[in-house]
């Protein structure tokens, strides 16, 4: 992990897995997702009485450092490029 600089990132999620609270949704407190039945989810992002403990989180790992690590070693880089020849 430390050699490849791979660090998972915790992302807050709606507790019903509707949306991640990132991008346009990062400052929302309540899930805006609308179901097929035209009902709004309206789940709070945080545990009741807390403004810092999310109800649900996921761990995401960016694939870019993984690919960089695979190509940083000469031998593994050559093995990954076998189709170039």
pLDDT in tens, 12-62: 999 999 999 999 999 999 999 998 888 999 999 999 988 889 999 999 988
Domains of the chain, by residue range, sit at 9-84
pTM: 0.68
Residues 6+ apart with CB under 8 A from 12: 20, 21, 45, 54, 56, 57
Q: What is the C-alpha to C-alpha distance for residues 5 and 66, in angstroms, rounded to an integer?
A: 8
Q: What is the pLDDT of residues 49-81, one digit of tens each?
A: 888 899 999 999 888 888 888 888 888 888 888
Q: How far apart are CA 20 and CA 14, in angstroms?
A: 6
């Amino acid at each position: 992990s430390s050699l490849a600089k791979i660090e998972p990132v915790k992302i807050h999620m709606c507790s019903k897995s509707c949306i991640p609270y990132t991008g346009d949704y990062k400052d929302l407190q309540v899930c805006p997702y609308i179901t097929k039945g035209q009902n709004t989810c309206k789940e709070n992002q945080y545990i009741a009485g807390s403004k810092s403990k999310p109800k649900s989180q996921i761990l995401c790992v960016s694939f870019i450092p993984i690919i960089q690590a695979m190509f940083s070693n000469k031998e593994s880089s050559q093995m990954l490029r076998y189709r170039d020849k």
